[in-house]
Structure 1
Amino acid sequence: MAAITAALVKELREKTGVGMMDCKKALNETDGDFEAAVDWLRKKGLSKAAKKADRVAAEGLVAVATEGSNGAVVEVNSETDFVARNETFQVAVKDIATLALTTGGDVDALKAASLPSGETVEDKLTNLVATIGENMSLRRTQVITAEPGVVASYIHNAEADGMGALGVLVGLKSEGDKDKLAELGRKIAMHVAAGSPAIAVSVDIDGVDSAIADKEREVFADQARASGKPDNIVEKMVEGRMRKFYEEVVLLKQAFVMDPDRTIEKVLEDAGKELGSPVEITGFVRMAKGEGVEKKEEDFAAEVAAATGQA
């Protein structure tokens, strides 16, 4: 059995990020075998992660990565916003976002993909759970492409480069100057980010779910008929309200936040003339951390009382 010195315990702690007492116990359990102790802690980490898996993780980071005509966005959640400021967590999220460029927007494929360290994304997050002590999960990922063209990104409330509370990707297809396209794409991404909540649901009218459009038309028709107007007037009223509906949910029909006198459609038309090549939006995605996650309300006074035996 190898001698379990303070230096050996310290080395194991630096390698794994686990507490001193756990490192000492791991070395005792493995007769001082350093690599076996690493594996022992990893297995223990898996156990810890399982215990934390039912905790609500609605904080964390949204991160983007772009490479020419490709872009990816991911949401990696944690339990508290403190973890979003943890450098180790941020590095991991950045690596995951970069890796997402290669996995086609499939969450399961991304979880199984290998990071530069050799770990899969799923294993990396499991190990971070053991090290940082909070439940974490890769919740969503999406990829946008624009060939030829660029994918531009925007991060709102950034915690670090390329990551923060809200991320947007916009794909612009064009043969025009890529730098100018990227600048335009970023402005449109900022426009998308300004929607609160995510108002735009489609690039164009054809992309709106027909069931949603039909339901809106039905509601507008019922409202118009209730006014007692004749059928020909009702039809005109419905068409007018549908136009307003599309101006809300269709990106191309929205007034550009930086120039409300022009729609996004007009902005693209003008840009195409300037660049000498038509500009088309191939897709967009707006992803905000914790969106749609039911957050548990914490009673900290009761929690403290329980912890101190005063409950």
Structure 2
Amino acid sequence: MATITAAMVKELRDKTGAGMMDCKQALNESGGEMEAAVDWLRKKGLSKAAKKAGRVAAEGLIGVVVSPAKGAMVEVNSETDFVARNEQFQGLVKMIAQVALDVGGDVEKIKAAKVGDVTVETAISDAIATIGENMSLRRAAQLSVGSGVVASYVHSSVTDGLGKIGVMVALESTGQKDELAALGRQVAMHIASTNPLAIDPSGVDPSVVKREKDILADKFRQQGKPEAMIDKITESGLKTFYKEQTLLEQAFIFDDKKSVAQALKEAEGKIGGPVKVTGFVRYALGEGIEKQESDFAAEVAAAAGTN
């Protein structure tokens, strides 16, 4: 039987990031062969990843990467906020965003894409094994323009292009790219702040419009408005709704005396051509995920065997 030294265990740990005892067991199982031990740990790591898959992953990072006329954004979730500060995890999210820039916003295509010798899905599983938390690529998006820029903004950023809220906005224009990019960043910041439903009223989901109309109609009936007037005053109420909920009609956060549409129109002279918003995407970390409440102190105590 091969002699397993402390130096061998340390070397394997440095290579894989696995725990000391796991490294020692891997070397014992593989007769001291380093590469066989790495393979053994990877297999065990994948098994661990599968066990962790049931845990709620609602933390993590939004990753954004843009080239002049194209941008991509991803949400990669983890179980705790601590992982967002981990350089390996940050590198993983940046890599996935770069892949999305190349292959598009289809999550399954991104997972299947290769980076070096491994797929993105394998890279995520390896990170789960090394870092020790469940992780998942939850969603992804890509925007592009024929002529113009895709601008971005990341709020609560931990490093360049990574944070808690990410926005991409596509501006179509033949004007000056640097001026257009500066305007695009302002619009992206506005979107991060106001979270509009759509670019303009025509883009709002019809089911959302119907729900709003029903709510307004019921409210006006309760106020005793005549039934013959309900439709007319409901339409008036919808105009207010669109001003609050659609990008171009919202008051611009950098000058609330103007709508975003007016701000874009005024900027056209400086940019040197018409400007049109053709799309935007806003991701807020963990939105829509039902988080499990837990007593962290009790979990630690239980893990330590004191509870």
TM bucket normalised to smaller: over 0.9
Q: Structure 2 matches for 1:101-116, cutoff 5 A?
A: 101-115=101-115
For 1:276 and 1:305, how far apart are their aligned partners in 2? 64
For 1:109, the aligned partner's letter is K
Identify the residue that residue 50 of structure 2 maps to in structure 1.
50
Residue 309 of structure 1, CA deviation? 4.8
The counterpart of 1:208, out of the listed 198, 201, 204, is 204
Given that 2:179 and 2:270 are in contact with CA atoms closer than 8 Å, whether structure 1 keeps it comes out as: no
Indicate the SS of the match to 2:118.
Answer: coil
For 1:302 and 1:7, how far apart are their aligned partners in 2? 36
> Compared with structure 1, are the counterparts of its residues 78 and 229 closer, same or farther at alpha carbon in structure 2 (3 Å cutoff)?
closer
Q: Structure 2 matches for 1:80-159, cutoff 5 A?
A: 80-115=80-115, 117-159=116-158
Is the counterpart of residue 300 in structure 1 residue 273 in structure 2? no
Identify the residue that residue 278 of structure 1 maps to in structure 2.
274
Given that 1:72 and 1:105 are in contact with CA atoms closer than 8 Å, whether structure 2 keeps it comes out as: yes
For 1:243 and 1:170, how far apart are their aligned partners in 2? 24
For 2:121, the aligned partner's letter is E
> Compared with structure 1, are the counterparts of its residues 271 and 99 closer, same or farther at alpha carbon in structure 2 (3 Å cutoff)?
same
> Compared with structure 1, are the counterparts of its residues 11 and 310 closer, same or farther at alpha carbon in structure 2 (3 Å cutoff)?
closer
> Compared with structure 1, are the counterparts of its residues 9 and 50 closer, same or farther at alpha carbon in structure 2 (3 Å cutoff)?
same
Indicate the SS of the match to 1:252.
Answer: helix
For 1:190 and 1:4, how far apart are their aligned partners in 2? 56
For 1:99 and 1:89, how far apart are their aligned partners in 2? 15
- Which deviates more, 220-229 or 29-38? 220-229
Aligned residues: percent identity? 56
For 1:108 and 1:291, how far apart are their aligned partners in 2? 21
For 2:110 and 2:255, how far apart are their aligned partners in 1? 38
Given that 1:145 and 1:282 are in contact with CA atoms closer than 8 Å, whether structure 2 keeps it comes out as: no
Residue 32 of structure 1, CA deviation? 2.2
> Compared with structure 1, are the counterparts of its residues 276 and 310 closer, same or farther at alpha carbon in structure 2 (3 Å cutoff)?
closer
TM norm structure 1: 0.92
Indicate the SS of the match to 2:156.
Answer: strand
For 1:250, the aligned partner's letter is T
Identify the residue that residue 185 of structure 2 maps to in structure 1.
186
For 1:203, the aligned partner's letter is I
Residue 83 of structure 1, CA deviation? 0.7
Residue 194 of structure 1, CA deviation? 0.8
For 2:274 and 2:291, how far apart are their aligned partners in 1? 44
For 1:178 and 1:25, how far apart are their aligned partners in 2? 58
For 1:275 and 1:309, how far apart are their aligned partners in 2? 65
For 2:125, the aligned partner's letter is T
For 1:289, the aligned partner's letter is L
> Compared with structure 1, are the counterparts of its residues 88 and 310 closer, same or farther at alpha carbon in structure 2 (3 Å cutoff)?
closer
Given that 1:168 and 1:193 are in contact with CA atoms closer than 8 Å, whether structure 2 keeps it comes out as: yes
For 2:10 and 2:300, how far apart are their aligned partners in 1? 32
For 1:11, the aligned partner's letter is E
For 2:137, the aligned partner's letter is L
Is the counterpart of residue 66 in structure 1 residue 66 in structure 2? yes
For 1:227 and 1:77, how far apart are their aligned partners in 2? 46
For 1:37 and 1:310, how far apart are their aligned partners in 2? 34
> Compared with structure 1, are the counterparts of its residues 7 and 226 closer, same or farther at alpha carbon in structure 2 (3 Å cutoff)?
closer
Q: How many residues align?
A: 307
- Which deviates more, 271-280 or 78-87? 271-280
Identify the residue that residue 283 of structure 2 maps to in structure 1.
287
For 1:123, the aligned partner's letter is T
Indicate the SS of the match to 2:18.
Answer: coil
4+ runs deviating over 4 angstroms: 225-233, 308-311
Question: Over aligned residues, Cα RMSD in angstroms?
Answer: 1.9
Residue 162 of structure 1, CA deviation? 0.7
Indicate the SS of the match to 2:104.
Answer: coil
For 2:219 and 2:294, how far apart are their aligned partners in 1? 43
1:31-72 deviation per Cα after TM superposition (whole angstroms, max 9, x unaligned):
222222111110000111111111111111111000111111
The counterpart of 1:246, out of the listed 237, 242, 251, is 242
For 2:19 and 2:225, how far apart are their aligned partners in 1? 75
1:91-128 deviation per Cα after TM superposition (whole angstroms, max 9, x unaligned):
1111111111022211111111122x432111111111
For 1:161 and 1:194, how far apart are their aligned partners in 2? 19
1:141-183 deviation per Cα after TM superposition (whole angstroms, max 9, x unaligned):
1111122111111111111111011111111011111111110
Residue 191 of structure 1, CA deviation? 0.5
Residue 276 of structure 1, CA deviation? 2.5
> Compared with structure 1, are the counterparts of its residues 275 and 303 closer, same or farther at alpha carbon in structure 2 (3 Å cutoff)?
closer
For 1:148, the aligned partner's letter is S
- Which deviates more, 229-238 or 243-252? 229-238
